[in-house]
Structures are given as C-alpha cells and as structure tokens.
Amino acid sequence: MADPWGFPGTLPGIACIGPIGRTVADTQALFAAIAGMHPADPLSQDLPVADPVPVERLRIAYSPQLGLGLPLDADVRTAVAAAVSVLRQSVLSITDADPDWPPSTAEARILAIEDAGLADLFGAKWRATPELFDPHVGWQVGAGMDAGPPPALAVVYTAASTIGRVLAGLVIASVLSVTIGVATRYFLLFERLTLPTITLLAPVSPIVWLPVAIFMFGIGNKPAIFMVVVALLFHMTLSTIAQIDGVNRNFINVARTMGASKRQTYTRVIVPAILPGMLLVLRMNLFAAWMAVLIAESTGVGYGLGQVIMLARNTFNPSLVFFTIALIGVLGFSFDFALRMLQNRLLYWVPKGSEALRGL
C-alpha cells in the first residue's frame, strides 16, 4: 500500500491507494526510484538508505485480514495465500499475525476520503453503467456513495462544524479583547507591555498565522478556532480601547461624584457604556472570522465548508463550489441577523438606527 501522505499535494480522487507493483522486480525498481537520489530532481535528497539485511534474518508476518477489514476478491485472497505458502518453503520464516489495528490507522481514514472523492467524481456514471468500471474501483465508488450520512445531513454536519468554530472563535476573541482592552486602560504598566505588540500585529493579515496554527495545534478544531481568534483579537482589542476613550465624560464624572472607585467606574460604567460599540465591532469583524475559518479549513486544518470548497476545486465540481458559496453567504447573513437580534435583546437601550431614517 502506498501512503498518500508520502506525496505532496495528495488529491482525493486522483491519488489512489493500491499495490505498488505486481512483481518483485517492479517493486524493486520503484523502491530504487523512491529511495534513491537523482541530481536532476530538486526535491530529491541524498539520504542514507539502511544497509540491506539478509533475507534469512528478516522477520516477516502475514495477516490474512490485510489488517484493514477491507473486502477482498476471492482470486486476490487465493493468489496471496499461494504466494505466502511458496515463500514459507524458502529460507524465509513467516509467522501469521493478526494485530488489532488501532482506530487511528491512517490509511483506513484516508480510504474513506478516497472513496468519497471517487463517488463524487464517478458516482452517477457508476450507477448508470457499472460494467464500465473495474470491479475494485466500482466497489470503492459504491462504498463512497454509501459511506457517511445522507447528503442533507452531511451538509448540516459540515456547516455545523464550521459554525461551531466561528462561534467558539468569536466568543474567545470577544472575551479576550474586552479583557485586554480594559486592562490596557486600567493598568498603565499592562498598556506599556502589550499595546505596542498589539498595534504591531493588528495590520498583519490573519492568513500568515496559518503555519503558526498548524505548528501549535496540528490539525482539527483547535487550529481553525485559533485562526478565528487571531483574525479578530487585535482589531477588537484596539477598538475596545478606542471605545473606552470615547465613553461620555459625563458618565464617568457622575460615577466619580457618586463616590465610585476606579474598579467600580470600570465595571459599572465603562464596560456597559462600550458594549453597544463592541457588538458593532463584533458584527463588522464577523466577516473576517468567516474568512479565517474557511482559509484554515481549506488548507487541511480540518473538515468543514472550507475543505468542501477545496475538494470541489480539486475535483473540478463547479456546482459544489457554487452551492458552498451560497451556503456560506446564507450562514454569514444569518449570523449577522442573530447578532442584531442579540443586540436588540441585550442592549435594549441602544436606539434602532433605521427607525429614525425610515421616515426620510
């Protein structure tokens, strides 16, 4: 089995998992090509290859299951069994082994993606004319079509995973930025220590944080959420500070004449006074959050709508591209709508801007 991760830029549906070669000679040639250095190839490196071990000293195990619980054609099974029994006659010592493969067995997971990719590409054709397909490929296409939830549910799962990341990122970024912003104005030392860095990082595009996200969190939910947080944090912190500086002087003066301490002035006056502005900033930055999460997902940091876009690109599937674009648009709109509703509920004192303008 060739490991698709061994090649850069694996493309689902194009790269395939399968036998390396049919004869030992083929395999030997391939091995030489893979392991050997070629001066004309800029990617190839002159790495030492382990000295060949005499075959008598090799410990060889054979799993009739092939380990992965994959269905095998009877002819393949017979052929392999015959080959193994021939080898048993030779100098080689072969033991039977049937290990418990851990659920994380990488190839098994990638196979499912492979199948899905094939199903996406050839599903309709396979259903119409299965006889045109090699039975193995046909089986993979079929497995891809049967695998996973039904299409509508798959859309919901995918969208939900992306929405979850956006939400988590928004909440973390909001809490962090309000905390940092308030602390900046509250403690002069904190301002001296952090504000230059924040101001320095604010203009940096969130995309450049992608490698950092992968270094720190690998793949999965965490790096995608990190990307959302990083896309929002610096701008929102700077806006928080601007909002604090813009709080009506009279509000602060009232608090002071009423005997409020510095802490009370912050918690009772400044924080509520900046909330409406912060929610507006949040709404403005919602789009940045969506962009960041899609970038993270499309670069393989996780499944989700961004990955679907990338899959659609790699499989030349325009209808999937446009469907996903529409879905992202609708979701972004709904998010903004939800935030507006939240603003109306939570910040009941903020006048509804459009009401006064409607009469014009």
Partner 1 sequence: MASSGPIPTFGFQALGESVHQTMTTAPPAFSSRSAVVCRGVGKVWAPGTPRVHEALRSIDLDIAPGEFVVLLGPSGCGKSTLLYLIAGLQDATAGELWSFGDRVEAPSPDRSLIFQETSLFPWLSVGQNVAFGLSIRGDTPDARRATAKEALARVGLAEAIDKRPDELSGGMRQRVAVARALAMRPKVLLMDEPFAALDVQTRAKMQDFLLDVWRASNASVLFVTHHIDEAVAVADRVVVFTSRPGRIKTVVPIDMPRPRDPFSPAAEALRRQLTGLLQDEVDRAFAEQEALPA
Query: Which alpha helices (DSSP H) does the chain contain, by range?
Result: 24-35, 74-89, 106-128, 135-146, 151-186, 188-201, 210-217, 221-245, 249-257, 262-264, 271-296, 305-314, 318-346, 353-358
351 binds partner 1 (CB under 8 A): yes
Binding status of residue 264 toward partner 1 by CB under 8 A = yes
Task: Note whether 212 binds partner 1 by CB under 8 A.
Answer: no
Q: Print the SS3 string covering 73-101.
A: CHHHHHHHHHHHHHHHHCCCEEEECCCCC
How many whole angstroms separate alpha carbon 257 and alpha carbon 266?
14
* Total residues in contact with partner 1, by rule CB under 8 A: 22
Stretch that binds partner 1, among 66-74, 134-142, 210-218, 345-353 (CB under 8 A): 345-353
Applying CB under 8 A, does 257 fall inside the site for partner 1?
yes
- Residue entry with tokens 């002819």: 75
- The alpha carbon of residue 112 and the mean position of all alpha carbons in its chain are separated, in whole angstroms, by 17
Bridge partners of residue 60, in order along the sequence: 94
Question: Of the candidates 61, 132, 258, 330, which one interacts with partner 1 according to CB under 8 A?
Answer: 258
* Candidate ranges 64-72, 107-115, 198-206, 243-251; the one touching partner 1 (CB under 8 A): 243-251
Binding segment for partner 1 (CB under 8 A), chosen from 114-122, 140-148, 249-257, 337-345, is: 249-257
Select 215 or 348, whichever has its Cβ closest to partner 1. Answer: 348
| DSSP, res 59 | E
What DSSP state is assigned to residue 62?
E
Q: Give the shortest CB-355-to-partner 1 separation in angstroms.
A: 12
Q: How many CA atoms lie within 13 A of 338 on its CB side?
A: 9
Closest CA to 169 of 57, 6, 294: 294
Of residues 176, 234, 226, 239, the one with CA closest to residue 201: 234
Contact between 246 and partner 1 by CB under 8 A: the answer reads: no
**Sole binder of partner 1 in the list 149, 211, 246, 272 (CB under 8 A):** 272
**What's the min distance (Å) between Cβ of 259 and partner 1?**
4
Nearer to partner 1, 44 or 264 (CB): 264
Q: Any bridge partners for residue 61, and if so which?
A: 95
Q: Please choose, from the candidates 111, 165, 112, the residue with its C-alpha nearest in 3D space to the C-alpha of residue 2.
A: 111
Please report how close the Cβ of residue 339 comes to partner 1 at its closest, in angstroms. Answer: 18
Please report whether residue 267 would count as binding partner 1 according to CB under 8 A.
no
* Least Cβ distance, residue 277 to partner 1 (angstroms): 13
CB of 247 to partner 1, least distance (A): 11
SS3 call for 15: strand
Stretch that binds partner 1, among 62-70, 179-187, 202-210, 343-351 (CB under 8 A): 343-351
Cα gap 237→275, rounded to integer Å: 13
Q: Does 255 bind partner 1 (CB under 8 A)?
A: yes
Alpha helix segments (H runs only) across 218-304: 221-245, 249-257, 262-264, 271-296
Among 90, 93, 205, 253, binds partner 1 (CB under 8 A): 253
Residue 279 contacts partner 1 per CB under 8 A: no
Is residue 254 involved in binding partner 1 (CB under 8 A)? yes
Q: Among positive and negative, which fits the CA dihedral 89, 90, 95, 96?
A: negative
Region near partner 1 per CB under 8 A, out of 37-45, 152-160, 206-214, 244-252: 244-252
Rounded to a whole number of angstroms, the minimum distance from the CB of residue 253 to partner 1 is: 5
Instruction: Give me the residues that bind partner 1 (CB under 8 A), please.
Output: 248, 250-251, 253-260, 264, 268-269, 272-273, 275, 347-351
